[in-house]
């Protein structure tokens, strides 16, 4: 595993940490930290719908009508158009709300990352940008979330070697980037 401070190579894919806004990422798929309604919200969800435009919400509403009348389950993921975003697709996933750690949160968070990567593989999307899922409004402690997130993505890159070129974690603050840096260091 080649090491720099903010990037590692795993089975030929680059896992990279960056600080920035997820809606600025020029990748195949931007990942949304959605909620089960798929009808928008604040944080990442708000930024993606605001910048991506109404086409994204229209597709989300269609997905709710035709496939998920009761909402997208936590840990699952669906893909839509990226609208005006600099990406081909948006993959919406629902992370767990934090309830103290005894309600299967870690497994549900890992599932959100794995399901997102599965949707990407299904559509041949080779570069992705993830936000730090569940560590905002959903209250998941970021140190624990970073370990789960990087571990799940690293495992998937190994299991599906050759499926991806780059998986990026886009951290909104320097503090969040520092937490993920430490988790990445422990991963190696
Ligand atoms: N780019 C990158 N990261 C961002 C951005 C952005 N534009 N905006 C916020 N973040 C960061 C937050 O600082 C946090 O670290 O993304 C992380 C996830 O925060 P949330 O967006 O609040 O997502 P989450 O904790 O998963 O909560 C999901 O919030 O917005 C609603 O509809 C959403 O109900 C759902 C809930």
Q: Could you read off the pLDDT of 40-78 as tens digits, one per residue?
A: 999 999 999 999 999 999 999 999 999 999 999 999 999
CB distance 43 to ligand 1 below 6 Å: yes
Enclosing H/E stretch for 52: helix 43-52
Strands 7-10 and 13-19, by their bridges, are: antiparallel
Catalytic positions, written as ranges: 45
Cα angle: 143, vertex 147, 152; to 5 degrees? 150
Fold of 11-170: 3.40.220
Share of the chain above pLDDT 90, in %: 96
71 CA distance to ligand 1 middle (Å): 19
Instruction: Label residue 5 exposed, middle or buried (CB < 10 Å: 0-12, 13-18, 19+).
Output: exposed
Would you list the domain boundaries of the chain?
Answer: 11-170
Strand partners for 108: none
> What's the whole-number average pLDDT of the chain?
97
Both tokens of 24, joined, read 């600025």
Determine if ligand 1 sits within 6 Å of the CB of residue 30.
no
Which of 17, 19, 33 to mutate to test ligand 1, by most ligand atoms within 8 A of the CB atom?
33
Q: For the CA atoms of 79, 83, 86, 90, what is the dihedral angle to 10 degrees?
A: -10
């Amino acid at each position: 595993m080649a090491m720099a401070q903010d990037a590692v190579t795993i089975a030929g894919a680059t896992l990279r940490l960056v600080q920035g806004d997820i809606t600025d990422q020029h990748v195949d798929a931007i990942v949304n930290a959605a909620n089960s309604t798929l009808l928008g919200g604040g944080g990442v969800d708000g930024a993606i719908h605001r910048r991506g435009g109404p086409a994204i919400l229209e597709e989300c509403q269609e997905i709710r009508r035709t496939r998920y009348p009761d909402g997208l389950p936590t840990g699952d993921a669906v893909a839509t158009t990226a609208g005006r975003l600099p990406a081909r697709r948006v993959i919406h996933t629902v992370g767990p709300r934090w309830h103290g750690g005894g309600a299967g949160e870690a497994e549900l968070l890992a599932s959100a990352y794995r399901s997102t990567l599965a949707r990407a593989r299904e559509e041949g999307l080779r570069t992705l940008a993830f936000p730090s899922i569940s560590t905002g409004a959903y209250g998941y402690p970021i140190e624990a979330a970073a370990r789960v997130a990087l571990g799940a993505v690293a495992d998937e890159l190994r299991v599906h070697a050759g499926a991806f070129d780059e998986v990026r974690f886009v951290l909104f603050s320097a503090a969040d980037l520092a937490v993920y840096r430490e988790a990445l260091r422990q991963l190696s």
